[in-house]
Amino acid sequence: MGQKTIYDYNQKIPEWNESLEIGLDSIDREHRFFLDLIREIEVEALRDRESEFIQLHIDELILYARFHFFSEEIYMKKIKYPDLDKHRELHLQLIGKLSDQVTRFQMKEIHIESIVEFLVNWFKYHTLVEDVKIARFISS
- Between 42 and 72, name the residue whose CB sits nearer to Fe ion: 72
Residues 59-78 that bind Fe ion (CB under 5 A): 72
How many residues form the binding site for Fe ion (CB under 5 A)? 2
- Between 97 and 111, name the residue whose CB sits nearer to Fe ion: 97
From candidates 21, 30, 42, 131, binder to Fe ion by CB under 5 A:
131
Least distance CB 44 / Fe ion (angstroms): 26
**Is 28 one of the binding residues for Fe ion (CB under 5 A)?**
no
Alpha helices in the chain (DSSP H): 25-47, 52-78, 84-106, 112-122, 132-139
Specify whether the CB–CB gap between 105 and 97 falls below 8 A. Answer: no
Least distance CB 108 / Fe ion (angstroms): 31
Q: Could you list the residues that contact Fe ion (CB under 5 A)? A: 72, 131
